[in-house]
Amino acid sequence: MLHLSRMLLASSAAIALTLPAVAQAEGGADDAFELEEIIVTAQKREQRLLDVPQSVSVLSSKALAAAQAERFDDYLTRVPSAAFTTTQAGQTRLILRGINTGGVGATVATYVDETPYGSATGLANGSILTPDLDPFDVARVEILRGPQGTLYGANSLGGLVKFVTVKPSTEGFEAAAKGSVETLKGGDTGYALRGAVNVPLGEKLALRASGFHRKDGGFIDDVNGNEHVNSGTMEGGRASLLFKPTDNFSVLLSANLQDLNSNGDNSFDVDGTTYAPIFGDLEQSRLLVQNNDVKYRIYNGTVEWDLEGFTLTSATSYGKLDQVQTQDYSAYYGPVLTSILGVPLGAGVDATMGQKRFTQELRVDSTGDGPLQWTVGGYYSEEENALHQTLYGADAATGDIFPGLGELQLVGLDSDYEELAAFASATYSFSEKFDLTVGARYSSNDQTNLQTSSGLLAGPASSFDGESSDNAFTFSVAPSFKPNETTTFYARVARGYRPGGPNALPPTAPTSVPRDFAPDYTTNYEAGVKAELLERTLVVDASLFYIDWTDIQVLVSVDNYGVNSNGGKAKSQGAEFSAIYSPFEGLTLTGSASYVDAKLTEDADPLTGALDGDRLPYVPKFSSSLGAEYEWPLSDTLTGSVGGSWRHTGSRQSGFDSTLGQRDLPSYDLVDLHAGVSFENITLEAYVRNLTDARGFTALGGPDSAPMGGVAASIVRPRAFGLSLSLQY
């Protein structure tokens, strides 16, 4: 992977809980209320969450709506041991259980229903190009913590985030719409419009479609005269067609499309030691407009055929991503160019990223009520990536390309990835109380790349290719004990991996720099308990985990090229706890906490400056949350609701940096409140996000990421007041 920047993306975290619906037990109004049973597909079959012998969190559609969720910032931080970094809309790194070194390849896999999304390689910026899908008309988001290599394959070292969309239904017509508007402190007014419709087309065919358009208000000002430079828009939609000619056969075709256009990043310039603003609160100084435009396209066809004793599933997917981005590197290259040519100059990088990925999975799942439940399948993936970057000199007065300096350096990296895998999983019930789940997966991949370099600063034009191949065996073993129908104790040992690959190297790289990099592996040991208590009004989930990470992949800088390297070991250990309590009708209380101690246990590559004992980047040791939701009748036709949450993100360490070293990032707290009223199928709600206007850091740039020797500090969105109106039919 070629990466002219020394400003590596990193992460932040916060914790809270999902809010499942509250259901009335049979028997009448005076009977106890209980929390609804949650069904998930974590093991690629529908199961009660209580029966899944691993750590899984679920963000329901109700929880997403209550949080006014629009982006990862709004809902991923409601999951124990989850963290993310973001510098700009469209550039987000997901982290689960502390598995992060700031490298190029993703450590958390992303799925949309049956479609794996994002790059499986370490050559295509897969770690930060996570599809930040708008969650409207999503049934739920499942977050699986710990390696998921058995059923979900590569890049699930730390876990998996799975979007489960709402499926078409032949049972009746449905429609929903939502409009919202919000204003940011010191920033723009934003708005969003969303709609969805379900249309039965007979007894055997149904169509569901949804669409949205969102304008995000900016809140960062540029001292050169541009206000709210990080504004942007997002629009898209999804459509799915279900054909079910018989009770045991169905075909589901779906398409997800999303365009994201961001005008600038979410950073302001601060002193690298004190974090005091250089120009002022929420102010930066950039010569160039730092746009980031990303288009996601996800297509899938899933066929399910229920036969006697088993179900055959075929999932065919195609994903496409196109990114166009401009980044300002005036602080790093500008002084050098100015000293050489004697005129004030800045510098920028224009980058494009194109990705196409085809996948085919075929699996057979057992059915019936026997003691043995099993899944056997095969998987094929083919991926093409094209990453191109152009460094140019810019007029310091206008930002225009300076004559003759339009192609200071051109670098290109085209790569192909092909993977073939077989997997199996089985659960055997030795008794009503004791189950054992085991799984295994064998994967093999082949990769090629073609790297080119030219331009005034690149020396003679060069072109060379590389190739690599590797294979991996991953497994999971999970016994579980159920003393009764509402309690599960479990243990789990699981392994995950991330592919290696051919490296991207500068033409001047010495022979000591490896021409390829190896896969890395995590082995996870965990034990936990899930319980439904007090007549199912209290749900508790607690776990302990230890993860051993070997041959860790890190990104190092060689002649300003980002080069993948292996080096050292790391571990992550900790505890997670969450609880949901509904003491009476209408009131739901939530709480969670997690402790994560993630650090290197051996020195990493010397070029990273990372040593044994250093904490893994952007992982808070302690995070916690509290939340409350209350709903009550105001009259025979009106219902009122209020709610709020408090989320604490502990102190963290920034990314590895051989020049500045890791830096301490302070903890921060976020408080969100909302209140609303519902009349039949209409809901009006007012809300405030980040009530205290906290300045929590979500990423910290490297040296020369800001002028005057400062660094760029990306932050959470400031305080926002908003109104939303929802309609359902």
Query: How far apart (Å, rounded) are the C-alpha atoms in residues 685 and 727?
Result: 12
Three-class DSSP labels, 404-462: CCCCCEEEEEEEEEEEEEEEEEEEEECCCCEEEEEEEEEEEEEEEEEEEEECCCCCCCE
- Sorting pLDDT into bands at 50, 70 and 90, what band is 1? very low
Task: Give CA separation, 186 vs 283, 655, 719, 720, in Å.
Answer: 11, 29, 9, 10
pLDDT over 50 at 14, yes or no:
no
Q: At residue 720, does pLDDT exceed 90?
A: yes
pLDDT exceeds cutoff 60 at 5: no
Task: Please enumerate in sequence order all residues whose Cβ is within 8 A of that of 327, keeping only pairs 6 or more positions apart, or say none.
Answer: 5, 288, 290, 348, 349, 351
- The per-residue pLDDT for 73 is 84
For the residues 640-651, what does the mean pLDDT come to?
94
* pLDDT tens column, 198-207: 999 999 999 9
Query: Is 577 within 8 Å of 593 (Cβ atoms)?
Result: yes
Beta strands in 61-101 (DSSP E): 82-88, 91-96
Taking 50 as the threshold, does the pLDDT of residue 222 lie above it?
A: yes
> In this structure, what token pair is assigned to residue 353?
């990223």
Amino acid letter, 508: T
pLDDT digits (tens, 9 = 90+) for 677-712: 999 999 999 999 999 999 999 999 988 899 999 999
What pairing do the DSSP bridges indicate for beta strands 159-165 and 47-48?
unpaired
The reported pLDDT for the residue numbered 231 is: 97
Question: 301-321: string of b/e by CB count within 10 Å (b at 16+)?
Answer: ebbbebeeebbebbbbbbbbb
**Higher-confidence residue: 335 or 9?**
335
User: Is 421 in contact with 378 (CB distance < 8 Å)?
Assistant: yes
> Which residues have CB under 8 Å from 26's CB, separation 6+?
none
27 pLDDT exceeds 70?
A: no
Mean pLDDT value across residues 479-492: 97
Kindly give, in sequence order, each residue whose CB lies less than 8 Å from that of residue 395, ignoring residues fewer than 6 positions away: 344, 345, 346, 401, 402
- pLDDT at residue 10, as a whole number: 27
Distance CA 417, CA 467 (A): 10
In the block, tokens 């003759």 appear at 404
**Per-chain mean pLDDT for the chain:** 91
Q: State both tokens at 88.
A: 């700009």
Segment (H or E) for 310: strand 310-328
Give the pLDDT band (50/70/90) at residue 4.
Answer: very low
Counting residues of the chain whose pLDDT is more than 70, the rounded percentage is: 95
Q: Note the pLDDT tens digit of each residue in 31-65.
A: 445 677 788 888 888 899 999 999 999 988 888 88
pLDDT of residue 39: 85
Q: What is the pLDDT of residue 24?
A: 41
pLDDT for 557-573, tens place per residue?
888 788 899 988 999 99
Residue appearing with tokens 């790059």: 119
The span from the CA of 231 to the CA of 214, in Å, is 11
Is the confidence at residue 615, as pLDDT, over 80?
A: yes
User: Where in the chain are the domains?
Assistant: 12-728
| Residues 357-393 pLDDT 10s | 999 999 999 998 899 999 999 999 999 999 999 999 9
Distances (CA, A) of 625 to 95, 564, 644, 668, 699: 18, 36, 11, 12, 21
Say yes or no to pLDDT of 84 above 70. Answer: yes
Closest CA to 78 of 575, 624, 621: 624
Pick the more confident residue, 102 or 18: 102
What one-character-per-residue DSSP string does 590-640 give?
Answer: EEEEEEEEEEESS---GGGT--TTPBPTT--SEEEEEEEEEEEESSSSEEE
720 to each of 83, 235, 334, 468, how far by Cα in Å? Answer: 22, 21, 36, 49
Q: To the nearest whole percent, how much of the chain has pLDDT over 90?
A: 80
How far is residue 91 from each of residues 196, 293, 432, measured CA to CA in Å?
A: 27, 10, 47
446 alpha carbon, distance to own chain's centre: 26
Q: Per-residue pLDDT for 13 more than 50? A: no
Whether residue 488 has pLDDT greater than 80: yes
Q: Give the Cα separation of 172 and 202 in Å (integer).
A: 10
Q: Is pLDDT larger for residue 74 or for residue 267?
A: 267
In DSSP terms, which residues pair with 82 in a beta bridge?
96
- Nearest of 721, 724, 700 to residue 712 by alpha carbon: 700
Q: Does pLDDT of 663 surpass 50?
A: yes
pLDDT for position 34: 64
For residues 275-283, give the mean pLDDT: 96
Residue 135's pLDDT band, with cuts at 50, 70 and 90, is confident
Domain 12-728 sits in CATH at 2.40.170.20
Give me the mean pLDDT over the 88-114 stretch.
94
Query: 288 pLDDT band (50/70/90 cuts)?
Result: very high
Report, as an integer, the average pLDDT of 209-227: 95
